[in-house]
Amino acid sequence: MALNRRISKFFFPSLTPNFVIRAGCIALAAYLVFGHLLTPFWIKGNSMEPAYRNGQVNFCWKLRYLFSKPYRGDVVVIRFTGERITLLKRVVALENEEVEFQNGKLLINGKEQEEPYLQYPYDWTLPARRVEPGSVYVVGDNRSVPMQNHLFGQTSLTRILGGPLW
């Protein structure tokens, strides 16, 4: 009987001022944390496989690049359009660096790069180009698709919202 009462009190609490204040504080904290610091996102697509798979859920840690710029190899969340549509890509070249693809090899300033995060072979060839100041060059990990069908390139640092939590 007492247990029943406790269960019913847990699911249907009485609306006392204390309860309302507590519920309000929790709602505010949830809004601040999940709306501005750790925004949840849902991965749609295979462009970051095998590190991030289609259908996975993750959180964007928005304070990650508050005091620093992204490093080469970092996975970043990029604002694509509006507030809701974002891209998950890996930074392969930093500002003022020269990036190039030669028969499936990534070259930065003419030097071939090791990319342990790649699982699938690819055959992209793209002439060398210099990354503009205030930008980074991002590419997905799954480069098995034709280059024309893969969204990659240089993007402004201002578009980087943060990094995935894991």
In the complex with other proteins, the residue whose CB is nearer, 25 or 151, is 151
Q: Is 163 helix (H, G, I), strand (E, B) or coil?
A: strand
Q: Which of 94, 105, 144, 153 binds other proteins (CB under 8 A)?
A: 153
E strand or H helix that includes residue 107 = strand 105-108
Binding of other proteins by 114 (CB under 8 A): no
Q: Rounded distance, CA 52 to CA 59, Å? A: 12
Binding of other proteins by 91 (CB under 8 A): no
Q: Is 159 helix (H, G, I), strand (E, B) or coil?
A: helix
If phi over 0 gives left and psi between -120 and 50 gives alpha, with beta otherwise, what is residue 95? Answer: beta
In the complex with other proteins, the residue whose CB is nearer, 20 or 85, is 85
Binding of other proteins by 82 (CB under 8 A): yes
Contact residues for other proteins, defined by CB under 8 A: 78-85, 87, 126, 138, 151-155, 159
